[in-house]
Structure 1
Amino acid sequence: QGIQIHRGIVYGSHARLLTPDEAKLATPGHTHRWTVFLQSAATPPPTMRLNSKATGVEDENEDFITGGADDLSWLIKRVTFRLHETYPSPNRPVDKPPYRVTETGWGEFPLNIRVQFQQETGEKTVAFGHQLRLHHWGPPALGPQPQAEGSGSQEQGASGPGAHEEGGIETARVKPEPKDDAQMVTVADSAVKGGNEPAEPPTASSTDSSTPVVQINPLPVHSWQYDQFVFTDPTTTLYQLLLDHPETPLPRRSLRMGQGKHMGEGAILGVDRGSAGVPLEFTQEMEVAERERLEQARRSLVEETDRWR
């Protein structure tokens, strides 16, 4: 009694444009390959090999997903991913690591991630929500180029809360027509009306040669977040299991920021070119910075309360 133990996890999604070979095998109309996942927060060390210029570590390929240093099968019995209803068998249970589901598609939608713990833990099922992201955040890169025939109306703006401005080229955006609660949120190059069904071809909105054209950002889209399983007053059995399976500590600082061909090409060291503001791995430095932000907020609240008093 009186004990609270936490285990760090990371969950979210990774998405990228289909390669020409993948597009030939995918459902017609699908533009992206995406993976939704849940795993331990710490990330295994990067592949230790020198790149062609012998300047340091060359990171994983474009399908790199953060986390996963620890095997959580001793704790987790099943992770069920609830996809959009237009996918066949939208409930996708995964009974062993890695807890991931990979699909193709063309629209963004909310996902539900349900975690069932092993029976001996005595813990109840928990659930997390995640918004699948296929397109980069921030304003798109526009150029005064002739409009492509048959392209839809375009809309500038951020995709979702906490939008970040991002350098380089960006994806096209249009506003879909409302349909139902599971409506896609943002799309690229066409108006979307479902998660897995082919998109209807857009109609031409203008023939003005001065209409800007949105360029497509080829970099992968990272959309993931840190969270924790928190066990309060655990049973003796669960307490012993937790002691027997200590988690890998987060690294002091990231070994991946600005590294690798797909996320560091032409970028300043320390800047993630995949998705602006999204870390490639969680670190102790981030943990300290978050504590400092919370402490500063507490001090500001006390000062404001004293001022009003």
Structure 2
Amino acid sequence: MAPPNNQKRVKGVQIHRPFIYGTTAKLFGEDNPKPPGTPADHTHSWTVFVKGVDDTDITYWCKKVQFKLHESIPNPMRMIEDVPPGGAFEVHETGWGEFEITIKIYYVPESLEKPQTLYHHLRLHPYGDTEEAKEAMRRGPDIKSWIYEEQIFSEPYNEFYDILTSPMPREKGGGGKGTRVMKGGMVGSVGERTASIPLTTRPDQPFSRETEKLEIKRLEEARVKVNDLMDKMSDDLKEKEAELDKLKREYNQPGVRA
């Protein structure tokens, strides 16, 4: 899309906005009965979505989202738009099998940017003996396959830059002038559309600074373990090389034949 003559990119600026996409599935049962008209072979209800971290508003930069489902599903191309601020772009369906969902994110017109395409595998079951699978079983019947992502806007056009960095509309009542009450009882500035994420993890919010710290710790522990293994392999290799040199010397001594 060619920008209007008065639109120029803001040079040297990069803005990122976090969001989540993925699926949540649940097996049909007593606490999740089949809706009337559901095909007999369908075993799960599921939802595919794109939303802000901690349900923050992303509609000021995300205009609409297209979900391409499996061709066996009626009307497999679903375009979701006109979502209220803080809401999720989502599709609810039922089924029995897993497949890849194509997710196309369309930006607001002021961005003058082309849509972005993501791919996500619908997961209906926790797999294997991994810690992730065990944790999914402990959490209960909901099978969550959620991905944290950051949308990067490099050198956005000036009008879109103003939208990304302008204050959010003030909310009337509740927290007094200049404040708003957020999830978990936190009170924060109304002013800014930022890239912040929650400090602590909750069952409905797995992505937080706490999660980030735990992941960094896990990666550091893995790095130490890998280094230990590499040191051990290096010592073993030196030992084998010394043994090989010894055998060569013995073989090359006078009187030793093949």
State the distance in 1 between where 2:93 and 2:197 align.
Answer: 29
Q: Residue type matched to 2:21 in 1?
A: Y
State the distance in 1 between where 2:136 and 2:65 align.
Answer: 36
CA RMSD between the two structures: 3.2
Aligned structure 1 segments of 4 or more residues deviating by more than 6 angstroms: 167-170, 292-301
Compute the displacement of 1:236 (Å): 1.0
State the distance in 2 between where 1:220 and 1:37 align.
Answer: 15
State the distance in 1 between where 2:137 and 2:200 align.
Answer: 28
Q: Residue type matched to 1:227 in 2?
A: E
1:287 — aligned with what?
212
Q: Residue type matched to 1:253 in 2?
A: T
Unaligned runs of 5+ in 2: 1-10, 169-192, 235-258
Q: Given that residues 23 and 46 in structure 2 are in contact (C-alpha distance below 8 angstroms), is that contact kept between their aligned partners in structure 1?
A: yes
1:231 — aligned with what?
153
Matched residue of 2:132: which SS? coil
Show the 5 A alignment for 1:1-309.
1-19=11-29, 21-22=33-34, 24-41=36-53, 43=54, 68-70=55-57, 72-97=58-83, 98-139=88-129, 164-166=132-134, 219-244=141-166, 245=168, 246-247=193-194, 249-254=196-201, 256-257=202-203, 280-290=205-215
Q: Residue type matched to 1:251 in 2?
A: P
Structure 1 residues 163 and 127: CA distance shift in structure 2, 3 A: farther
Q: Given that residues 23 and 30 in structure 1 are in contact (C-alpha distance below 8 angstroms), is that contact kept between their aligned partners in structure 2?
A: no
Structure 1 residues 167 and 95: CA distance shift in structure 2, 3 A: closer
Q: Deviations over 1:80-105 (max 9, x none)?
A: 00000101111100012230000000
State the distance in 2 between where 1:107 and 1:18 align.
Answer: 14
Compute the displacement of 1:219 (Å): 1.0
Structure 1 residues 288 and 124: CA distance shift in structure 2, 3 A: farther
Q: Given that residues 13 and 224 in structure 1 are in contact (C-alpha distance below 8 angstroms), is that contact kept between their aligned partners in structure 2?
A: yes
Task: Give aligned pairs, total.
Answer: 187
State the distance in 2 between where 1:87 and 1:80 align.
Answer: 15
State the distance in 1 between where 2:35 and 2:111 align.
Answer: 44
Which is further off, 8-17 or 115-124? 115-124
Question: Which has more helix, going by share of residues?
Answer: 2
Percent of matched pairs sharing the same residue: 33
State the distance in 1 between where 2:165 and 2:223 align.
Answer: 33
Compute the displacement of 1:79 (Å): 0.2
Compute the displacement of 1:19 (Å): 3.8
Could you state the TM-score of these two structures normalised by the residue count of structure 2?
Answer: 0.63
State the distance in 2 between where 1:39 and 1:130 align.
Answer: 14
Matched residue of 1:29: which SS? coil
